[in-house]
Amino acid sequence: MSNWMRKSFVVLISILTFGLVTPSQAFLNENENLNKSDSKAASSLHSQTEAAEAAEEVEIDHGLFVQQMLTEAENQAYIKFGRKIKPVIEDEFQSIILPKIQAAIEETTKKFNGNELSFLTISEVPEYAKSEKIFHIYDERSGEDIIRFHVRRDHPPLDGYYFNFHYHTSLDNFQEHHSLGDIYWDKNVPPQWSSLS
């Protein structure tokens, strides 16, 4: 029943009974609750529209975006390395590999405008962590990867173990293997990724 009909009904009953009989409190409360729920629904829809418009208007500075991604990339790498590997390779990773990760992120994302950058995010280290994946940067709207950063263990014949850092980009459909560098581990087999002890 529409609002004006309810109000008309209340007035009509009051007039016909000379005010001796009034509509029940339940009827009035129901009417009030309907008004509130209509108002809340309209407010919620308005808020959702404003949030969507605000998300569309977010402009991110490319330099700031790269720094945010680099900070998160470092965190994800250390999670991947775990407590056993991190202390051994951390210095070389920071001085050799991290600057190259930064350059790769800058180069690969420079085609995105500030609004598009707001939809790019970094993935987390997978729980299984035995794969090469360190992290990927992907577009939240489509779920498609933009750049993939990996590390694998190499063991050249008659040599020790190395960690080979590299990345792949959507620019070449992830076909090209872009090297970031190698870090020597030892003659002994390195521990599993994400080892805690």
Are 188 and 98 in contact by the 8 Å Cβ rule? The answer is no
Q: Which amino acid is at 67?
A: Q
CA atoms within 13 A on the CB side of 74: 17
Residue boundaries of the structural domains of the chain: 3-57, 62-186
Give the pLDDT confidence of 21-50 residue by residue, as tens digits. 555 555 555 555 555 555 555 555 555 555
Indicate the average pLDDT of the chain.
81
Residue 158 reports pLDDT greater than 90: no
Percent of residues, the chain, with pLDDT higher than 70: 67
Strand runs labelled E in 25-175: 120-122, 133-139, 145-154, 161-169
pLDDT greater than 70 at residue 86: yes
pTM above 0.85, yes or no: no
